[in-house]
Structure 1
Amino acid sequence: MLKNLIVLAGSACAASAGAQSSITVFGVVDAGVSHYETKSATYGVANSLNPSTVKQSQNVLSPSGLSSSRLGFRGTEDLGGGLAASFWLEAPLSNDTGGGVANFGRRSTLSLNGPFGEVRMGRDYTASFWNDAVFDPMTVNGVGTNLIAVVNSNIAASRALATGGLLNGGLSAGTDSYLRTSNSIGYFLPSNLGGFYGQVQYAFPENIKGLPATAAATTGQRGRYVGTRGGWASGAFDVALGYGESTVADTSTYKEVIKTINLGASYDFGVAKLFGELSRVKDDMQRLPGATNPRVNDRYNAAMFGVTVPVGVGLFRMSYANVKFDSGANMPVSPYAPNADASTSKIALSYVHNLSKRTALYASVARMRMRDAHNNPTVMGVTPLVLSLPAIFPQPSYITTGGFEPKSAMGYDFGIRHAF
């Protein structure tokens, strides 16, 4: 299928050479050996009855330890008068299993560009995601991925699954309405504003109106995303503020909106480049008139800082991040559960050795620690390290209060990446 697509793209390029200003086939193939390891321990009554620990590990051939493996096609047509039309189709690749192009879930957009800026339509990155990526020394890939990004991805995935199934076509090539969103229309400022840049974005929920109120997955504003990002870059300095709202549930009695705000910055001193980000995510769960349960607001407050240091043809990378979960559920306090909150921290180190402009060797290692993760194991537990690692924690049948909770995790990547 991949060969046929490349041949088709080449034929289309030849057939439309007179109309296209440019067309490009591009991609990345990344392959590495990865190891993931987690440790869990008993808590609550389980710890008093039979204290014990559980260790899990997994070795894999991973496809995206440094950069996400992908295949893409992009092109531009000059329309005259400063106007241009462009397209971008980008598909994920699973080169570890030979998986071909199943969809263009990474990006699928059509744009109109001009002196006014750019109007972009289709499936695209969300405005509120960009700061998590741009200001991450690890470029949101591999075991060192920005903890803010992976926790946010876990929030979006767990809430979408809990409130009526996957959003906007599923979790293809990233969690929908956090990392990417479908059915979107966006506007980007032109690039000649003295370093200022920005965008606004809206994604249509595309639900059918008039269905019974119990059809939670297809009514209301579920699937709607609205976001914006603005910043300023000049020389070595870059700073940006992002905001987004994703509606994951909307019925006659219940509405849930995930609200994200983040501020990121970087400064390149030449001998080293510093990165930093502050983030707050609010899971706003509101019971509408007629419901008996109260409104709940869970909050995730996060901070990350990092640095990259060029050394010859290589690059050292380091980051540290902490995410604190503040529960809005007002859970009862007991000797075994003194609070309903949780926290996760992560430190990551990496070295990239560039063999050429397109090919690089890399090695990364990361370690996480969790506190009170039983209060929110799906988001604050093991899964922030790597989404593919099963979060399976045995719970003995005789335990009625307490069980196993994730305590720590580590992982490493060794691999090679080639871009074309």
Structure 2
Amino acid sequence: MKKSLLALAVLTAVSGVASAQSSVTLYGKVDLGLTLDSGSSSGKSVRLDSGVTGGSRIGFKGVEDLGGGMKAAFQLETGFCADSAAGVSSNGATVPNFCTGSNAFMGRQAHGDLTGAFGAISAGRQYSLGFNNLSTIDPFGTGFAGQVNNIVDPSGIRLNNSVTYSTPNIGGITASAEVAFGEQTGNWQANRETGAGLTYASGPAYAGFTFYDVANASGNGAARKNYLLGGTYDFGIIKLHALVQKSTGPSSLDVLDMMGGVTIPVAGGQVLASYIHHNDRTLSDKDAQQVGVGYLYPLSKRTSVYMAFARINNEHGAAFTVGNATATGTGDKAFNLGVVHNF
């Protein structure tokens, strides 16, 4: 009897250790905000957007300890429209889709990872290095009306068929490289996307440089190249944000974008503000400037209320609109008011 009890205790202990070596986490976000657009020749727009600060989503993360310092992991994440059935066909008609990443199953992210002393390898559908860098630097985190990517090209956002490698973090420095295959038979370079990055993150400081290149449909040249350099520094009473991005391509693309911003703790929340200058250096000279301001107030660790306003000044035929994380917007001015819950 004693031996049986001892065996049962050992089995229970081993089982507990084994289960502790792997885990799966369910997470998500529900974001609903009132958006008022104006400054369009079509008139004003008043609507409820799902995902103003970042797309409403539900996802799963898993990790397994393989031993010897190696771990296998995965992430599966799908978007949804909390305000409607956007993207769902009804009687043969498709409702306009304002939700990010499409409503395809796990359409936001779906990738597998392997990490160890060698660094990290990730493959599947995942955020580009350039977009991660942009989101880290932008005071609005590429959301709200004030998001930097209303004007600045986001470098691919999510890349299909992609493989990313990152070195181990050494003194806060990480180097990364990525390739997203176009998968065209007979021309493997067509629509191929490549990128590289070097970031530093330690204490209150962050700095990042990323390069992004998307090949044209023929595979014999670049449709676009982005070079992004920027960073943030948190002084406690104020956090500074700054970036510059050069975008080049065929003769019709030569752009220099610059952004300066701040995050300021105020009354238990955060004031967000930025100014962006888009300098079109081609003969068309379609310049633009954007000013954005917002306030984010946490009601709890998971729930916050927010408001934001942004305005774009388009010049010489430029046609940028003020959007948010899931909507492109309809005019050159927009106001957001909403609540976001993370779980």
Q: Same fold (TM over 0.5)?
A: yes
**1:117 maps to which residue?**
119
Code of the aligned partner of 2:182: P
Between the aligned partners of 1:381 and 1:302, the Cα distance in structure 2 is: 16
TM-superposed CA distance for 1:118, in Å, is 0.6
**1:416 maps to which residue?**
339
Counterparts of residues 2-81 of structure 1 (less than 5 Å)? 18=19, 21-39=22-40, 54=41, 56-81=43-68
Code of the aligned partner of 2:164: G
Go from structure 1 to structure 2 and tell me whether the alpha carbon gap of 1:306 and 1:390 turns closer, same or farther (over 3 Å shift).
closer
Give 1:182's match in structure 2, choosing from 153, 157, 160: 160
Between the aligned partners of 2:202 and 2:236, the Cα distance in structure 1 is: 14
**2:171 maps to which residue?**
194
- Within the alignment, does 1:305 sit opposite 2:243 as a pair? no
- Within the alignment, does 1:224 sit opposite 2:224 as a pair? no
TM-superposed CA distance for 1:222, in Å, is 2.3
Q: Residue by residue, what CA displacement relative to the aligned partner does 1:236-273 show, whole Å, maximum 9, x if unpaired?
A: 1111111010113216xx74421010101111000110
What SS is found at the alignment partner of 1:129? helix
What SS is found at the alignment partner of 1:257? strand
TM-superposed CA distance for 1:231, in Å, is 1.7
CA contact (8 A) 1:200 1:229 kept: yes
CA contact (8 A) 2:37 2:329 kept: no
Q: Residue by residue, what CA displacement relative to the aligned partner does 1:66-98 show, whole Å, maximum 9, x if unpaired?
A: 232111101001111111100011111211114
- Within the alignment, does 1:346 sit opposite 2:314 as a pair? no
What SS is found at the alignment partner of 2:284? coil
TM-superposed CA distance for 1:23, in Å, is 0.7
Q: Residue by residue, what CA displacement relative to the aligned partner does 1:154-206 show, whole Å, maximum 9, x if unpaired?
A: xxxxxxxxxxxxxxxxxxxxxxx611111111111223x11111211011111
Counterparts of residues 131-146 of structure 1 (less than 5 Å)? 131-146=133-148
**1:243 maps to which residue?**
211
**2:10 maps to which residue?**
none
Between the aligned partners of 1:69 and 1:417, the Cα distance in structure 2 is: 9
TM-superposed CA distance for 1:142, in Å, is 2.2
CA contact (8 A) 1:232 1:239 kept: yes
Code of the aligned partner of 2:126: D
Between the aligned partners of 1:114 and 1:366, the Cα distance in structure 2 is: 43
Go from structure 1 to structure 2 and tell me whether the alpha carbon gap of 1:418 and 1:347 turns closer, same or farther (over 3 Å shift).
same
Go from structure 1 to structure 2 and tell me whether the alpha carbon gap of 1:368 and 1:25 turns closer, same or farther (over 3 Å shift).
same
**1:322 maps to which residue?**
277
TM-superposed CA distance for 1:221, in Å, is 2.1
TM-superposed CA distance for 1:384, in Å, is 5.2
CA RMSD in angstroms, aligned pairs only? 2.2
**1:282 maps to which residue?**
248
Code of the aligned partner of 1:112: L
CA contact (8 A) 1:151 1:384 kept: no
What SS is found at the alignment partner of 1:65? coil
Code of the aligned partner of 1:201: E
CA contact (8 A) 1:368 1:385 kept: no
Greater alpha carbon shift after TM alignment, 59-68 vs 70-79: 59-68
CA contact (8 A) 1:109 1:120 kept: yes
TM-superposed CA distance for 1:357, in Å, is 0.5
- Within the alignment, does 1:357 sit opposite 2:323 as a pair? no
TM-score by length of 1: 0.69
Q: Residue by residue, what CA displacement relative to the aligned partner does 1:332-368 show, whole Å, maximum 9, x if unpaired?
A: xxxxxxx521111101110111000000010100111
Paired-residue identity, %: 30
Between the aligned partners of 2:327 and 2:266, the Cα distance in structure 1 is: 33
**1:46 maps to which residue?**
none
The answer for unaligned runs of 5 or more in structure 2 is: 1-17, 89-102
CA contact (8 A) 1:358 1:419 kept: yes
CA contact (8 A) 2:279 2:286 kept: yes
Code of the aligned partner of 2:71: A
TM-superposed CA distance for 1:280, in Å, is 0.7
What SS is found at the alignment partner of 1:97? coil
Go from structure 1 to structure 2 and tell me whether the alpha carbon gap of 1:208 and 1:412 turns closer, same or farther (over 3 Å shift).
same
**2:320 maps to which residue?**
382
Between the aligned partners of 1:413 and 1:384, the Cα distance in structure 2 is: 11
- Within the alignment, does 1:269 sit opposite 2:239 as a pair? no
Between the aligned partners of 1:141 and 1:390, the Cα distance in structure 2 is: 12
What SS is found at the alignment partner of 1:411? strand
What SS is found at the alignment partner of 1:250? coil
TM-superposed CA distance for 1:19, in Å, is 8.5
CA contact (8 A) 1:38 1:382 kept: no
